[in-house]
Chain A
Amino acid sequence: MSEPWQEPIDERPKEQKPQEPRQFREVSHSIPKIEGKGLVTGRPAYTDDFAPRDALYVALVRSPHAFARIKSIDASKALALPGVACVITGKDIVRIPYTRAGQGDPEPSPRDKFILDEYVRYVGDEVAIVAAEDEATARKASSLIQVSYEVFESVLDFEKSIDNPIVIHPEQEIREMFPIGFEPRRNIASSYEMNVGDVGAELAKSDVVVAKSFLTQAQSHVAMEPHTAFSYLDLHGRLVIYTSTQNPFHTRRILAQALDMPLKDIRIVKPRIGGGFGSKQHIHIEPFVALVTLRTGRPARLALSRKEVFESTFTRHQMRISMRAGANRDGTLNVLDMNVLSNTGAYGEHALTSFMVVGSKSLPLYNKVKAVHFGGNVVYTNKVSAGAFRGYGAVQGNFAIESTVDELAHALGMDPIAFREKNMIQEGEKSEVFRIMGEGGEGVDMAIESCKLNYCIKRGKELIGWDPKRLAWESAPGKVRAKGMAIAMQGSGIPLVDMGSATLTLQDGGWFTLRVGATDLGTGSDTIMVQIAAEELGVPFSTISVYSSDTDNTPFDVGAYASSTTYVSGNAVLDAARKMKKVMIDAVAEHYGCEADMIGFDGANFMAEDGSVLVSLRDLSFDTLYHNGEHMKTLTATGSYTGPKSPPPYMAGFAEIEVDTETGKVDLLNYVAVVDCGTPINPNLARVQAEGGLLQGIGMALFENVQYTEKGRLLTNTIMSYPIPSREDVGKITVELAPSFEPSGPFGAKSIGEIGIDTPPAAIANAIRNAIGVRLTETPFTPERVLMAIRKAAQGQA
């Protein structure tokens, strides 16, 4: 039986066969998620489901001003309210700059935030912490706290931020941990430049040059579970925090630094998360519950309201991207030039890293150019901070490059696909950009060992019915249908930065515990980690029990971000499983006094060279734990992995749209995506990852848009005012996985977590271009914008 993901792929070109013909037993099967039954029956799973009943409720007083200094705080009325346990203000805590970005050490983000500061820098910034016996009292108390502010003028337009007389971060203590181009006096959080070849000369030599400026909006994550945490002191007096985080270990380290506590005194546990997409790759709530517990000695709980999630967590970085690109008549792309301005909001979380990805995850798509330049600044404004969001930087960069490339094809009169095929990266090739640009520093010089873009495009063309001569047609009076496409790449973890570990232990009865630091944020990574371990050990899936994301009880892992889990953590599990096999065989060899390399293991029994059974796995487990006298020991192995490279997954995305030329409304009728993610460890889960990513990209392309008042107050602070796609918003989504095998990945796997989001903005913009003859350069493509573009084009013709 073929897997469902393979079914639609009927004619597989010969050269595209996976290099590894191997049949997998566990991997590459669509096993339902381990926790699936628990989830569909509504068992307690998420942080708030476990909050202790006697926990204090924490509420936060937030700034109503975009930029102000706190003159005084009068908490007497709040404290007088029965049931209020404590009020904590900036005066009560040590002032330590830190960053809320959940990143490795040293953080590539500036330490420019204080848990509570004298200054507030956006509407929603934290002013004071209140804790009370119940939720209503905590809320009431927070409304009774009187704060007097000295209100400053603010910087809201990010294109006017650099060298603005209003300096958002004048404070002395803030700093960068290594050079990231941090110039707070100029409102610059970070800056970066790179250059290969002579961009000016190549542009001058090119037959056709396209220069366009693109603007992408801030986008909200809207994970369904709001950020939630609770804390308590354990029997040893250590601080335990259960929290919806994507990176427990970074949270522990950063919290210890920000609270000036020993790392040893903190334990972070991540129960199930109700969606992350990057929003929980940050320290948003943990310091507040921690401070209340440390102050009162009591458990404390904080669940942000939906409004707070919008107003005080992060968004995607808004960006202005100016592109120049030149090509020859014969369709050779010569040069790409990308100048970027990114808006990091009030604080600089992920400022540099998300910025660099704009180039590093888009420019290598066209690796044969003779010159390439990338550079610009990340600036502060008095808005909600920007942070990590699925496909950060990459989706913005993809929109700019894939729109520009499309426009070049138009200028050359070429089929946009033919133009791409001529210039795009191929298996076995390299890109200078890989070597120069990493995430926050230098990159790695890697060759692409798996790249099935040719297949993705070919298959996508079939599925969408691509005919270069018929990319737009009138479907009804006042309605035009059109097709457009884009290609994309991502990464699989950050090479030589991300590290994951896993520990396997044989338990009495012949089953295993698998402890991983990796963080399942709903993706199903717990399941695929077991699949990988089971495949390598040769044991059934059902004999491995997985436990993840607890800083006391699981080995280190950087966490779930940068599309790292399958590749980095998965390789760590593979390493652990290989070692575990050896540990077991060594134990058998020792016991039976034979050579380890003579012993075989079939998943149930250990065998001598002649095939006779020496001992069963079950008996071995009892022997080593109960029977072997002085040789008794726990059989366990820990594996770790850090990637010397970050093999990109690839995708071709195709959109078919219908534009209502009367209202400007764009309906997405059909979206086809063919993805090369290497071996899908669990095809069904991989497919759902891609489908979910696509819909977020579609939301970004069509209507999601964070908006503010002139005073910097967030307007889009409910799901009603910030609609996310409902199941009605797309006609049809077809996802297929290309047959592919990445030699460096666990059983050939790469990543799939982020790439899905990358193509929709560009593919839909390209379809709109085909429909109405106008290039939209600003996301989202709202009916109003599309209609104005149609009008302008009509006026231009008249």
Chain B
Amino acid sequence: MEAESERKKTTLKVNGKWHSTSAPYGNPLLDFLRTELGLKGTKEGCREGDCGACAVLVGRPIKDLGEASGDAQGVVRYRAVPSCLLALGDVDCCHVITIEGLVEGAPDGLTPVMRAFLEENASQCGFCTPGFIIALSSWLAGPGKPDLAGAMKAIDGNLCRCTGYGAIRRAAERLAKEFGGLPEGSGERLKALVERQVLPESVLGFAEERRRRCEAGGSSDGGPAKAYNRRGLAIGGGTDYYVRNPEPEADFSPALLSKQPDLAGISEVQDEGKNWVEAGAAITASDFFASPLVRRAIPGIENFETEFASTLIRNLATIGGNIANASPVGDLTCMLMGAGAVLVLGKPGSTSPGWAAAANTATRKLPIEKFFLGYKKTDLQDGEIIRAIRLPEDRPFFSFEKIAKRRQLDIASVNTAISFIVADGYFTQVRISAGGIAPTPVLLKGAASAMEGASRNRGAAGLAVLARKVATTAMDEIKPISDVRGSAEYRRQMLGKLIIAHFLRFFEDEGIGKELFP
């Protein structure tokens, strides 16, 4: 036991070189890179996840990510994440590539992404540039075929105050043309990217080196987290935690849930005679939205992915973290509540020999709407964490809406989600959630019952009447507050509009628009 309480070493590969460090594992990776390693290319613009100047590529073996897929064995996946919100311990046994590392080995000292930036004059002051280049390199690493829309999505968490983004877009257009034909499979993709110098050669040996250093009695089985959790504080992606505590104390030693394989899977389970999709709480938002099982359980949820944070944040933020954070405007929480999710709560697992044993610990289930007790207060008992989120598999209709100041990447002032079933021509099991109108995310029971049992086949005019009725009921049942993001009256109005928008989304084809806005 004594040995475990000693400070753990973190072993990681940064660019072409392995490091083993006893630097505090709870401190942000950014500080380790800039201060300890003197890699100054990674910039600090905000330390709050907003600007993307600190982005680095992190490579993790796919099998560690929970969703073991046949071809993926041994393949490492590279994703851009903000290093200012990432615990050093989180990248134990991972491969970190900074802007300096991207060019290692490139003959003219430039990668194609850099060349596109240079030729389009896409850096003005240049402070944001390394982050954009990392984010675009991550886009080329996949998933999916590289196209312009994908590139634009990949940089939605990178801010540039100088250029107005025009030149950056032109650089991305160039790249989309140049790399449209990259192979899809993760293994071949990685090889092609190294061949074409988008990624450095140091990615090739990584999987093998890791096996030697980390798996053979190394620090990795179950991650370094086994010695963690002394303080009872667990963090998921850290995207809320580090924003609130940008400079943690030197001995900050939280439990790193993302290092826990049993919190990182997505699978089907049967319970109470129903089929559920169960997602581990430490699944990142990116993986959640990409999961075929999740997409099956909540049809169309992928359309709302970009309503939540940015690519950089989604690559790091966990779904459990969004719920546990208990923000009144948490977007994932709102979606999950609308979809009828049930939480699986339990201990994070005992200490040694590792997290896998945790599966045996007692758990309890709680509908998500019962989880929130008051402003930022939850039903989590001492030492308990959210272990998983269950989604019912029988709800074919789902929609989400959000209002924010900026078009994207902004905290909502009001959000809402809805799901229902149509049985025998009637709406039933209607659930409507809303955020930003009370101290916690809430279910709108009145609005839901206004819709419950109404007939589906009532024509556009009838649907419009129903939409208005549901919206007015919702507006009447809430007591919003005023703050920077909007006044109480505005929030009330907006909730009404958003509920109308749900109906528009579902029934636009039937001409409800003309009825609602004559």
Residues of A near B169 (CB, < 8 A) are: 727
Which of A48, A49, A691 lies in contact with B167, CB distance below 8 A?
A691
Is there an interface contact between B163 and A663, defined as CB atoms closer than 8 Å?
Answer: no
Question: Measured between C-beta atoms, what is the minimum distance from A52 to chain B in Å?
Answer: 12
Contact of B109 among A41, A44, A707, A729 (CB under 8 A): A41
Closest beta carbon of chain B to A656's beta carbon, Å: 16
Cα(A518)–Cα(B47), bound, Å: 31
* Interchain CA distance A733-B163 in the complex, whole Å: 11
* Contact across chains for B45 and A716 when beta carbons are under 8 A apart: no
Can you name the residue of chain A whose Cβ is closest to the Cβ of B512?
A477
**A45 touching B156 by the CB < 8 A rule?**
no
Kindly identify, within residues 216 to 246 of chain A, every residue whose CB is under 8 Å from any CB belonging to chain B: 221-226
Q: Are A522 and B48 in contact (CB under 8 A)?
A: no
Min distance, Cβ A465 to any Cβ of chain B, angstroms? 20
- Residue A735, interface by CB 8 Å: yes
Collect the chain B residues with CB atoms within 8 Å of residue A48's CB: 40, 44
Closest A residue by C-beta to B115: A40
A582 within 8 A of partner (CB): no
B250 within 8 A of A: yes
A45: which B residues are within 8 A, CB to CB? 126
**Contact assessment for A663 and B50 in the assembled complex, using a CB-CB cutoff below 8 Å:** no
Residue of B nearest to A275 (CB): B125
In the complex, whether A306 has a CB less than 8 A from a CB of chain B is yes
- Chain A nearest CB: distance from B126 CB in Å? 3
Instruction: Report yes or no: A40 in contact with B118, Cβ–Cβ below 8 A.
Output: yes
Please tell me which one of the listed residues A37, A226, A522 contacts residue B118 in the complex, with CB atoms under 8 A apart.
A37
**Which residues 107-142 in B have Cβ within 8 Å of A in the complex?**
109-110, 114-115, 117-119, 121, 123-130, 133
Interface: A200 (CB within 8 A) = no
Determine whether the beta carbon of B118 is less than 8 Å from that of A275: no
CA distance A685 to B409 in the complex (A): 28
Is A35 part of the contact surface with B, judged by Cβ < 8 Å?
yes
Report yes or no: A521 in contact with B118, Cβ–Cβ below 8 A: no
- Report yes or no: A44 in contact with B40, Cβ–Cβ below 8 A: yes
Contact call B118/A222, Cβ cutoff below 8 A: no
Chain B residues within an 8 Å CB radius of A30 = 121
Once bound together, how far apart are the Cα atoms of A136 and B126, in whole Å? 28
Question: Is A421 positioned at the interface, with any CB of B under 8 Å from its CB?
Answer: no
Inside 8 A of B246's CB, which chain A residues have their CB? 305
With A136-B250, A691-B164 as contacts: A306 and B124 at CB distance below 8 Å:
no
Contacts of A139 in B (CB 8 A): 247
Closest residue of chain A to B118, judged by CB? A36
CA distance A706 to B53 in the complex (A): 23
* Pair A306/B123 contact, Cβ less than 8 Å: no
B41-A41 in contact (CB<8A): yes
A476 to B163, CA, bound (A): 32
Cβ–Cβ contact B513 & A783, under 8 A: no
User: Is the CB–CB distance between B247 and A136 below 8 Å?
Assistant: yes
A523 CA / B484 CA spacing, docked (Å) = 34
In the bound complex, residues from chain A placing their C-beta under 8 Å from that of B40 are 42, 44, 48-49
- What is the distance, in angstroms, from A477's C-beta to the closest C-beta of chain B? 3
Chain B nearest CB: distance from A789 CB in Å? 13
Provide the A675-692 mask, 1 if CB < 8 A to any CB of B, else 0: 000000000110111011
Query: B48–A306 contact, CB under 8 A?
Result: yes
A42 neighbours in B (Cβ, 8 Å): 40-42, 98-100, 129-130, 133
Known: A32-B121, A42-B98, A691-B167. A715 touches B484 (CB 8 A): yes
The one of B45, B161, B403 that contacts A226, using a Cβ cutoff of 8 Å: B45
Q: Are A224 and B163 in contact (CB under 8 A)?
A: no
Any B CB within 8 A of the CB of A695? yes
Contact B41 A688 (CB under 8 A): no
Docked CA distance A475–B151 (Å): 29
- By beta carbon, the residue of chain B nearest A703 is B405
Q: Can you list, as one digit per residue, whether each of B329-356 has a CB less than 8 Å from chain A (1) or not (0)?
A: 0000000000000000000000000000
Does B268 count as interface, using CB distance less than 8 angstroms?
no
Within 8 A of A (CB), among B159-176: 159-169
Chain B neighbourhood of A225, CB < 8 A: 43, 45, 125, 127
A342 CA / B406 CA spacing, docked (Å):
27
With contact pairs A685-B121, A688-B124, A782-B405 given, residues A40 and B161 touching in the complex (Cβ less than 8 Å): no
CB-based nearest B residue for A30:
B121
Give Cα distance in the complex from A729 to B406, angstroms: 7
A224 close to B53 (CB less than 8 A): yes
Q: How far is B486's CA from A735's CA once the two chains are assembled, in angstroms? A: 34
Instruction: Identify the stretch in B227-235, B259-267, B273-281, B489-497 within 8 Å (CB) of chain A at 4 or more residues.
Output: B489-497
Most buried by B among A685, A723, A730: A723
Query: Which chain B residue lies CB-closest to A708?
Result: B484
Nearest-CB residue, chain B, relative to A51: B40
Distance in Å: Cβ of B203 to nearest Cβ of chain A = 18
Which residues of B238-277 are within 8 A (CB) of A?
A: 243, 246-247, 249-250
Interface residues of B in 21-45 (CB under 8 A from A): 40-45
C-alpha gap A688/B124 in the complex (Å): 8
Contact of A273 with B by CB under 8 A: yes
Of B50, B121, B127, B166, the residue contacting A719 (CB under 8 A) is B50
Determine if A274 and B517 form an interchain contact, defined as CB atoms under 8 angstroms apart: no
Given contacts A32-B119, A136-B249, 15 further A-B contacts (CB under 8 A): A40-B126, A42-B129, A45-B126, A48-B40, A277-B161, A477-B513, A478-B516, A667-B407, A692-B164, A696-B161, A723-B406, A724-B161, A726-B409, A733-B164, A784-B486
Nearest 4 A/B pairs, CB to CB: A42-B41, A522-B125, A274-B127, A42-B99
29 residue pairs of the A-B complex, CB under 8 angstroms, read A32-B121, A33-B121, A37-B114, A40-B114, A40-B117, A40-B123, A42-B40, A46-B127, A48-B44, A221-B161, A224-B43, A225-B127, A274-B125, A306-B46, A476-B513, A477-B513, A477-B514, A522-B124, A524-B124, A688-B124, A691-B166, A695-B164, A696-B161, A703-B405, A719-B159, A720-B411, A723-B410, A728-B407, A783-B403
